[in-house]
Structure 1
Amino acid sequence: MRKNLIASLAIVLASSTAALADASDGKVKIGILNDQSGVYADFGGKSSVEAAKMAIEDYGGKVLGVPVEIVDADHQNKPDIASNIARQWYDTEQVDAIMELTTSSVALAVQAIGKEKKKIDIVTGAATTELTGKQCSPYGFHWAYDTHALAVGTGGALVKQGGDSWFFLTADYAFGYSLEQQTSDFVKASGGSVVGAVRHPLATTDFSSFLLQAQSSGAKVVGLANAGADTQNAIKQAAEFGITQGGQRLAALLFTLAEVHGLGLEAAQGLTLTEGFYWNRDEDSQKFGKRFFEHTGKMPNMVHAGTYSAVLQYLKAIEKAGTDETEAVAKALHEMPVDDVFGRGGTVGPNGRMFHDMYLLEVKKPGDSKEPWDYFNVLATIPGKDAYIDPSKSGCEFVK
């Protein structure tokens, strides 16, 4: 019996040692880095942290026999702050991967650090296609949406409906430029025209001068190439200027369930937008939405659901690779299909772009909403192959 006991203990010890060797530092550590106090706090924020925790909980709290930990921080929409946090996490706090990364300038900066240090990042909160284009990384992945998908969805729908002349109010940083450019290209390719554009500072509270320029342009559509509270404030002030009453239409190019809730159906009704997830679309998304509500007191948008999916897929990739070593996990992420409540039938391209369906949505009138957070009519499903850029045309150096 004594010999058997010693043998059993040796086997357990050997198994534990093997698990520790395969998972560096005896744990897997994921960092959620995003805006938690500024213009995009509702867009992602602390709710994305909860989505990540839900994914870990659903996976059983461990991978390769070691615990999975979450750390989070507020980058305040500043690339220098985000870069400092990322370096500290990677260099001294044993963080294995960084995710969410709201704000394109932040995401590009952190992805560059990950490329340098051979660490994985999975972006769910930022939109620029540069992440999987000219500034791609062999360890970088773009998960929830991007500016091309938004342009295909909202831009394409409005041109087909007669909105063939556009004026843009654009956030003055990488995300805004990319969204304006790609929507402009799509509008022109569809037979429309762009009559002008104006750029505004991030987190401005006064859109009056920008809206007056849009109003005087005579464009049929005023495209809001911004996000979060910027979009909400622009819509509120557009109503005060009587822009829609005057016959112009507002196109919220990056607008999610969180912003509709903040704005209210009375102000947001009739807006057309594109999202990668809607909680009230089917039975599975409803179940996830209600669980998320129990954690956060709100229903998820595509950033929250995308973060859940990214964390879950990362843990699956570690399991498949048998290690949390970056090269092996990145290879698994590229090879594995994505099949969860967010990325059904999803695939990952050689440039790190995750291909999944997007949804063209219209905000309901207040009288048509049947329950709290029931805000959208689903107008169309945009297949992933149509929503995203072909990797061979993305400009990514790693695509052969």
Structure 2
Amino acid sequence: MKRINHTSGTRLTTLVAALSAGLFCAGAAQAQAGAFSDGVVKIGVLTDLSGVYSDVGGKGSIIAAEMAVKDFGGSLDGTPVEVVSADHQSKADEGALVARTWFDREQVDTIVGMNNSSVALAVVNIAKADNKIVINTGAGTTALTNESCAPTSIHYNYDTYALSHGTAKYVVKNGGDSWYFVTADYSFGKQLEKDATAVIKENGGKVLGSARHPINTGDFSSYLMSAQASGAKIVGLANAGKDTINAIKTAHQFGVTENQDLAGLLVFIQDIHSLGLDVAKGLYITTGFYWDRNEETRAWSKRFYEQAGKMPSMNHAATYSATLHYLKAVQAARTDATDAVNQQMRKTPVDDFYSRGGVIRPDGRMIHDMYLVQVKSPAESKYPWDYYKVIATIPQDDAFMPLSESSCALLKQ
């Protein structure tokens, strides 16, 4: 009988173990390489680069997303992270075309931004069909977390419920109990007017009428004359961007503000900068972010200012936060596969300068604190972009529509 050489057996065992380990490492490396589809994690910033919302989104949103990628480290285990961008031109069909091209041909993993509710609703439909993550950091309609909610859609920033329950509620309780609306004639403006009207009536006020204008309107005189003739105490501006700026300027030129007060339901700090404090002073605004609120917000905003030449809007800050939250989820899931990343994003709190303890609910709404602010007078402002006084913090559970009122079909599953 042949004697077994224990030394040779040991060597053989060692060799087998080494080969097995090598095969395991190679397999693990292949699995890891395959975890990031097409060898790159690609984030698309879909925004308004040329129209009415370009100042509050636009290039600033691209800069914010790029800052997040850089702060994250620029790669995931050696897999590069890339930011691409496009202009949706405030057209739903153009936004849908970009989204379809990005998802089907250019392997974009997620889209952030939008800055237009009609565009956002169109993109959500594309993302739902393609099972891709889309994060709305600039669209306002609550339809995104109600009748148009989708499993992979996240509404990250403000919405019409939060804006109206912040500003309208405060104004009515302080004597502004009769309103006339000047409203942008598309999904966002109509929803904002609807939500604000509900708040006004709930708090004992009344709405005397409304006038609706096309997006990107140059002449607001007829709409504001109608508001003036109504005799309402408050002229509610259910629009945004350059439309809000033009409406406020026209109201001052025609003397509307001599007998009526304006309530801007969606106003950005860039709007105040454009108007000047002499015109905008005293205006109450609900916002999800203010650059000068604390040391963290100031530190990030000054970095943003160095690249953008202006302080960030809440859309810019939200785009940074959403991009970073997405990348952290990809890192934790060790894949860019939609289902795994989506699940990771939803179970992880949003903790950064933009939001502390933010939560993504089952309807896709990311709830976080909102802030009621008042625009300072020129005498109160002490340095550039020192525009707001924070009147109140609106806790996240109070700021957004409760799930009990939501019509999102996902809640029934």
Give the TM-score normalised by structure 1. Answer: 0.96
Query: How do 1:55-134 residues align onto structure 2 when only pairs under 5 Å count?
Result: 55-134=68-147
CA distance in 1 between partners of 2:360 and 2:404 (Å): 13
* Deviation of 1:7 (Å): 11
Corresponding residue for residue 9 of structure 2 = none
Query: Are the structure 2 counterparts of residues 200 and 68 from structure 1 closer, same or farther at C-alpha, using a change threshold of 3 Å?
Result: same
- SS of the equivalent of 2:262 reads strand
1:81-120 per-residue CA deviation (whole Å, 9 max, x = no partner) reads 1111111000110000111011100000000100011000
TM superposition shift of 1:65? 3.3
In the alignment, what sits opposite 2:345? Answer: 333
User: Is 1:226 the equivalent of 2:225?
Assistant: no
Structure 2 residue runs of 5 or longer lacking an equivalent are 1-14
The sequence identity of aligned pairs, in percent, is 53
Which of 360, 363, 366 matches 2:378?
366
Quote the residue 1:378 is aligned against.
390
Residue of structure 1 equivalent to 2:284: 272
AA matched with 1:241 = F
Summarize the alignment of residues 1-400 of structure 1 with structure 2, pairs less than 5 Å apart. 16-245=29-258, 247-400=259-412
In the aligned structure 2, how far is the partner of 1:62 from the partner of 1:18?
A: 17
Distance 2:383 2:172 in 1: 32
**After the TM superposition, which parts of structure 1 deviate over 3 Å for at least 4 consecutive aligned residues?**
6-16
User: Contact (CA 8 Å) 1:277, 1:358: kept in 2 or not?
Assistant: yes
The answer as to whether partners of 1:40 and 1:102 remain within 8 angstroms in 2 is yes
- Counterpart Cα distance in 1 of 2:36 and 2:385: 41
Q: Is the 8 A contact 1:23 1:64 kept in 2?
A: no
Aligned-partner Cα distance in 2 for 1:286–1:8: 50
Counterpart residue number, 2:12: none
Q: Give 1:323 deviation, angstroms.
A: 1.1
The superposition leaves residues 192-216 of structure 1 with CA deviations (integer Å, 9 ceiling, x where unpaired) of 0001001001001000110000000
Q: Is the partner of 2:167 in helix, strand or coil?
A: helix
Contact 1:19 1:65 in 2 (8 A): no
Query: 1:152-179: per-residue Cα shift (whole Å, max 9, x none)?
Result: 1110110111000000000000000000
Write the letter of the residue equivalent to 2:374. E
Amino acid at match of 1:288: W
Q: Distance in 2 between matches of 1:307 and 1:66?
A: 22
CA displacement 1:43-98 (0-9 Å, x = unmatched)? 11110000001111111111243111000000000011111111100011000011
How many residues end up aligned between the 2 structures? 396
Indicate if the aligned counterparts of 1:362 and 1:377 stay in contact, CA closer than 8 A. yes
Aligned to 2:5: none
Gaps in structure 1 of 5+ consecutive residues? none
What amino acid maps onto 1:287 in structure 2?
Answer: A
Q: Do the aligned residues in 2 keep the contact of 1:19 with 1:66 (CA within 8 Å)?
A: no
Structure 1 residues 363 and 396: alpha-carbon distance in aligned structure 2, compared to 1, 3 A threshold: same
Which one has the largest radius of gyration?
A: 2
Instruction: Report the alpha carbon displacement of residue 259 of structure 1 after superposing the two structures with TM.
Output: 1.0
Q: Matched residues in 2 for 1:363 and 1:11: separation? A: 62
